């Protein structure tokens, strides 16, 4: 092991369209010898890797498996195991990149990996490359501003259903709900309760094959929604 410690680059690769990747991210991916790509423990597919595949220059791809669970101890063990694998490469003096969908610091596995890595070895240098988020891309598809003038825009998770929506709906003019796939019907019910169904638009698979925009959310009730499903709510006007 040499004295030099490699740099980890946390690279946001955008929402899905391979053209929506920054020039800075592209330059990093073309030169690092190793690229870490997150995947679920349930399969070997990585959408982030699929997005950047055509941009790579012979780098070694190292998959990191992260479980889809709410068990805090299992999650912590997974973050540490993966952080140690990354650290091993960095301590050998090699630079590496960790690729992630959208932006690395917005609802991303990278944030947990980053904190764990810094706890294990505070001296490790980490450079984060921001990326275009799914909701920025969705707003562009809709040609709809996320916020104007003195309006606020709340970014909330729908992973637990419509609970967060109820919390912020009284004060926010604009709401973006990510992770809506699992409890979509509950979120729709909350929108109905708040009289906001006609102010909401669902965007699925933004920038990917099968992209769909639906302004009548009631038509989607009971359907199995893809993981990349979001809702944009404009209280002051239809999206």
Residue 19 burial (C-beta neighbours within 10 Å; 0-12, 13-18, 19+): exposed
What pLDDT is attached to residue 1? 46
Residue 239 lies in a domain: no
Same domain, 16 and 115: yes
Q: Check: CB of residue 138 under 8 Å from CB of residue 203.
A: yes
What pLDDT is attached to residue 102? 94
How far is Cα 228 from Cα 217, in angstroms, rounded to an integer? 16
Same domain, 119 and 18: yes
Residue 102 lies in a domain: yes
Residue after which a domain boundary falls, among 129, 155, 185: 129
Residue after which a domain boundary falls, among 103, 129, 155: 129
What pLDDT is attached to residue 216? 95
Residue after which a domain boundary falls, among 83, 112, 129: 129
Q: Are strands 7-12 and 125-129 parallel, antiparallel or unpaired?
A: parallel
Residue 164's CATH number: 3.30.950.10
Domain count, the chain: 2
Per-run averaged pLDDT (10 residues), the chain, 239 residues: 83 93 95 89 74 85 85 88 96 96 94 95 96 96 94 93 91 95 95 95 93 95 93 83
Residue 55 burial (C-beta neighbours within 10 Å; 0-12, 13-18, 19+): middle
Residues 65-81 pLDDT 10s: 888 778 888 888 889 99
Q: Which domain holds residue 146?
A: 134-234
pTM across the whole model: 0.89
Same domain, 41 and 153: no
Q: What is the DSSP string of the chain?
A: --S---EEEEEE-BSS-TT-S-HHHHHHHHH-SEEEEEEETT----HHHHHHGGG--SPEEEEEEE-----HHHHHHHHHHHHHHHHHHHHTT--EEEEESB-TTSS-HHHHHHHHHHHH-TT-EEEEE----HHHHHHHHHT--S--TT--EEEEE-TT-SHHHHHHTTT-SEEEEE--STTHHHHHHHHHHTT-GGGEEEEESTTSTT-EEES-GGGGTTS---SSEEEEEETTS--
Same domain, 111 and 18: yes
Same domain, 19 and 98: yes
**Which pair of structure tokens corresponds to residue 67?**
């479980």
Residue 2 lies in a domain: no
Residues 31-61 pLDDT 10s: 999 999 987 666 557 888 888 888 787 899 9
Residue 1 lies in a domain: no
């Amino acid at each position: 092991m040499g004295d030099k410690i490699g740099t980890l680059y946390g690279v946001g690769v955008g929402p899905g369209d391979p053209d929506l990747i920054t020039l800075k991210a592209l330059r990093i991916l073309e030169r690092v010898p190793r690229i870490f790509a997150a995947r679920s423990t349930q399969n070997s597919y990585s959408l982030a890797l699929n997005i950047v595949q055509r941009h790579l220059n012979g780098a070694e791809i190292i998959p990191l498996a992260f479980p889809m669970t709410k068990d805090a101890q299992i999650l912590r063990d997974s973050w540490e195991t993966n952080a140690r694998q990354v650290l091993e490469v960095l301590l050998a003096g090699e630079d590496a990149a960790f690729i992630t969908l959208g932006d690395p610091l917005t609802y991303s596995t990278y944030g947990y990996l980053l904190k764990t890595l810094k706890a294990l070895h505070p001296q490790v240098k980490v450079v984060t490359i921001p990326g275009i988020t799914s909701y920025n891309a969705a707003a562009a598809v809709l040609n709809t501003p996320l916020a104007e003038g003195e309006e606020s825009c709340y970014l909330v998770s729908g992973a637990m259903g419509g609970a967060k929506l109820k919390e912020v709906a009284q004060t926010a003019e604009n709401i973006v709900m990510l992770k809506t796939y699992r409890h979509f019907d509950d979120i729709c019910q909350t929108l109905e309760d708040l009289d906001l169904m006609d102010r909401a638009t669902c965007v699925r698979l933004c920038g990917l094959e099968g992209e769909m925009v639906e302004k009548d959310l009631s038509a989607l009730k009971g359907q199995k929604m893809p993981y990349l499903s979001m809702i944009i709510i404009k209280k002051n006007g239809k999206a």
